[in-house]
Amino acid sequence: MDDEIISETPVQASGSVDSGKKSNVWRFFKKIKKDRDGIEKAECNFCHHEYKIEKNPKTKNAYGTSHLSRHIVSCKSIPLNIRFDDDIEGLPTKIDQNVHRKKLAQAIAKHDFAFSFVEYESIRDWINYISPTIIMPSRNTLVSDLQMIYSTEKEKLRQKMSRIPNRICLTSDVWTASTTEGYICLTAHFVDENWRLVSKILNFCRMITPHTGTNMEAVLFNSLKQWGIDKKVFSITLDNASANDNMQNILKTHLCKKNSLLCDGEYFHVRCFAHILNLIVQEGLKMAAGALFKIRESVKYVKASDGRKMKFKDCVQQTEIEEGVSPKLDVPTR
């Protein structure tokens, strides 16, 4: 470059600015000698691109510094960690660590990531590249943040259910996982202030054996009291397990003592329609049990190896049968 440099302003991550320059764009630019037309220019300290900055003596047009701000936003040579500045229009704002931690915890919960995700070396390197100013929490801090979010959202839901004038319907189910651990789930269904049907899981926890009606009723009744809706219950929907019949009888007795149920609980217990329909279908399928057994065994045979799958596909093509999804095993409960 032929033009002689008048002054060089070193760029510092701390954001110090020459007291003689008013705009913070001068953290990223330095003034250079006027060109042949007598117009002063500024050069980017990172990509060395030149811009006119002084009023044109011929046209009287002033250039200002807005075009310099736009360059800072788009310049790929400027490191992200020194580009943050609230005083430069168009630049990203500084990172709010509290907002960052909250959004990180929400993402972990929403996408079902492991808590150790925040301690993965590659993830931390990636975040550090985006901005060294971002502080990644440890897994223990993440757990605390998630518990805080849960407490906040739980209180919001509690307040929401306390405001609605109508009653709340419940559904509950108990099952045993492959690890032989029992779980119980309680879900609330209600119409909110905007006449929208809302379904929220109130409780999902371990169910200690034995899964008797008395034990299940104790868990559900405590949940209703914790959420403050023990006097707003309308009905509860359960499947046809014998333990559920015993459980709802005990729960109805407790709620009736507080005069919490309409019509003395006459409409309190609702049997699960899906479960009843499934029982009907399974009973009807017993008439075709022999054929269904052969179909299931055939599907198991085909899916046992890739070679059998290829032969099955060839047979389908030879018989000119329209291809669809591959053979799948059915789920008896569905």
The four Cα atoms 94, 95, 98, 101 give a dihedral, to 10 degrees, of 170
Q: Is residue 119 part of a domain?
A: yes
Are the CB atoms for 100 and 145 separated by under 8 Å?
no
Dist. CA 278–CA 192, nearest whole Å: 31
pLDDT tens for each residue of 154-212: 999 999 999 898 999 999 998 888 788 889 999 999 998 889 999 999 999 888 888 88
Q: Is residue 57 part of a domain?
A: yes
pLDDT tens for each residue of 259-316: 888 888 888 999 888 888 888 888 888 888 888 889 888 888 888 888 888 888 888 8
Peptide bond into 79 cis (omega under 30): no
> Do 266 and 302 fall into the same domain?
no
Q: How many domains does the chain have?
A: 4
Query: Is 5's pLDDT higher than 60?
Result: no
pLDDT tens for each residue of 204-242: 988 888 888 889 999 999 999 999 998 999 999 998 888
Q: Is residue 179 part of a domain?
A: yes
Q: Pick from 254, 323, 257, 330: which is nearest to 288 by CA?
A: 330
**pLDDT value of position 58:** 59
Q: Is residue 174 part of a domain?
A: yes
DSSP 165-192: -S-EEEEEEEEE-TTS-EEEEEEEEEE-
**pLDDT value of position 88:** 57
Q: Is residue 281 part of a domain?
A: no
**pLDDT value of position 6:** 36
What letter does residue 5 receive in the DSSP assignment? Answer: B
Mean pLDDT for the chain? 82
Query: Is 331's pLDDT higher than 80?
Result: no
> Do 103 and 73 fall into the same domain?
no
> Do 172 and 257 fall into the same domain?
yes
pLDDT tens for each residue of 92-135: 556 788 889 999 999 999 999 999 999 999 999 998 888 777 88
Query: Is 324's pLDDT higher than 50?
Result: yes
DSSP 81-132: GGT--TTSTTSPPPP-HHHHHHHHHHHHHHTT--GGGGG-HHHHHHHHHH-T
Dist. CA 67–CA 29, nearest whole Å: 12
> Do 103 and 133 fall into the same domain?
yes
pLDDT tens for each residue of 52-64: 887 655 555 667 7
CATH number at residue 224: 3.30.420
**Percent of the chain's residues with pLDDT above 70:** 84
What letter does residue 259 receive in the DSSP assignment? Answer: T
Query: Is 149's pLDDT higher than 90?
Result: yes
For the beta carbon of residue 154, count every other beta carbon within 10 angstroms. 14
> Do 30 and 77 fall into the same domain?
yes
**pLDDT value of position 179:** 80
**H helix runs in the chain, sequence order:** 66-74, 97-110, 121-130, 139-163, 213-227, 242-257, 273-285, 289-302, 306-318
> Do 19 and 70 fall into the same domain?
yes
**pLDDT value of position 76:** 79
Query: Is 67's pLDDT higher than 80?
Result: yes
For the beta carbon of residue 268, count every other beta carbon within 10 angstroms. 21
Q: Is residue 264 part of a domain?
A: yes
Q: Is residue 222 part of a domain?
A: yes
Contacts for 158 with CB less than 8 Å, ≥ 6 apart: 227, 228
> Do 33 and 85 fall into the same domain?
yes
The parent domain of residue 49 ranges over 1-93
Indicate the residue type of 287.
M
- Segment 147-152 shows an average pLDDT of 93
> Do 10 and 85 fall into the same domain?
yes
